[in-house]
Amino acid sequence: MKLKKEAVLCASLILSPALSSKENDLSAKEIFTSLKSRINESLLSRKNEPIKRAKDERILVQCLDDEMQFLSIEENVLAPLTNYLKGSFSDDKFFDDSVWFSGFRGLAYGSGRDLGGFTLSKGLILDSRDMKIKNKKAFKKFFKEFSKLDNVEIAALEYFSPVNMRHDGKKMNSARIRTMFDVRGFSQNGELLQQRGEFLISTSIKKGKWVVEGIRLANTEKLVAKAPLFKNITNESKIASVVPRHLRREAIRRGGYAMALGNGDVNKPSDIFVATVAETVYLKGDKNLNYKVNKQEKLEKESFVKAASFADFDKDGRDELLLVRFAPNEVQSKKDRSDILIYKTSEAGVYKPLREIISFSKKTAYAMPLALGDFDSDGFLDFYVGFPGAKDFTTLEEAKQKEGLETQGLFYNKLAKREGLF
């Protein structure tokens, strides 16, 4: 049997359409027989059933195992490759002589298309798909138009590891990674230059470690601009190095955590608030846009902040910080909730939460989105919070809320009528 489109991601990877038709004809039974030592008995008894439902737990065992291996590939192959480019290819021993390259040698660019301020040129790959040249200079030469690299990103889009690339059909011995690369910097003439496209990276385990076997250029294009439209200050700002990173543990459809720009004081530049699954960080920048962590004892302990916004609710010239927290396991009181919070700064710039600021008696779950606006046009900012519930916005099934759960929350700012609240 052939797997249909509804088969889960992992199954489609095992039976990659890129493979020969013979391999495509592997049945679910054959796959699960080869995977049986990783599947518990109750699942094994169902091995003759076709793989159909995305929720099928049988494939999850293999998926999880593959994902763990893929993390090693990211760490041992993609991250070092990114760093090699970032280091302007200074490590001459990065690729050993056995690594092959394909698509780079016969590359030409079509005549550029003017897109108003910048020119887009598509790469024409002239090498045949079988051409594999063991000459690392071809790879280096591909980026020869850069005088200076500013930003390098290599992100995996898919990995392929069919049964014949696995040990006993289970753990991956080798894999092909389809990646998106995006390299930005300046050309030899000082113009802004971006090269992007897809690398197909063949990788395998050698001496217990994932290594690059070869890189095929699948497609590419470049953009050249005379003047910057936006200046990238990520590196200068040091933001990436001061914001903590955590492993993503929840569904990607729920998105990430909040980031907000505003001013807790009247100084420029804007302060930056960044939330994570655990702690939050408050950053203050100097006139050179160097951002440093500003200790905020209470604020930094807030976890699961899904949405945040700076807003001057009381019009005193300093922004308050409104937080919406994804807090399904916390009981909310009617007047003092832990999922909708407003923090206010003192003159000294210390943020403290305001108590009993909203009254909301309806039961809700999973506060997530936030919008600000003066909804009643009284000159004071109001806000909206959505409570999409456990099923969130992207469920394929009809979302039925539990009885009594409210999904919308609109909060008018009553300061105009109640001075002294803040």
Which residues bind to Ca ion, rule: CB under 5 A? 312, 314, 316, 318, 320, 374, 376, 378, 380, 382, 413
Q: Is 364 exposed, middle or buried (0-12, 13-18, 19+ CB in 10 A)?
A: buried
CB of 386 to Ca ion, least distance (A): 19
CB of 119 to Ca ion, least distance (A): 46
Joined together, the tokens standing for residue 290 give 């160097």
Nearer to Ca ion, 150 or 378 (CB): 378
Nearer to Ca ion, 213 or 320 (CB): 320
CB of 233 to Ca ion, least distance (A): 27
Joined together, the tokens standing for residue 178 give 């389809």
CB of 379 to Ca ion, least distance (A): 7
Q: Residue 354 and residue 347: Cα distance in Å, rounded?
A: 15
CB of 377 to Ca ion, least distance (A): 7
> DSSP secondary-structure letter at 99?
-
Nearer to Ca ion, 314 or 339 (CB): 314
CB of 347 to Ca ion, least distance (A): 12
Nearer to Ca ion, 186 or 375 (CB): 375
Joined together, the tokens standing for residue 198 give 């897809």
Task: Kindly give the residue spans of alpha helices, DSSP state H, lying in 74-219.
Answer: 79-86, 137-142
Torsion of CA 409, 415, 421, 422, to 10 degrees: 90
Torsion of CA 303, 304, 309, 313, to 10 degrees: -60
Residues whose CB falls within 8 Å of the CB of residue 281, separated by 6 or more in sequence, listed in order = 242, 243, 244, 273, 274, 293, 300
Nearer to Ca ion, 182 or 316 (CB): 316
CB of 304 to Ca ion, least distance (A): 25
Nearer to Ca ion, 271 or 320 (CB): 320
Return the H-helix or E-strand segment holding 69: helix 57-73
- Contact 281/243 with Cβ under 8 angstroms? yes
Nearer to Ca ion, 115 or 421 (CB): 421
CB of 261 to Ca ion, least distance (A): 15
Nearer to Ca ion, 6 or 376 (CB): 376
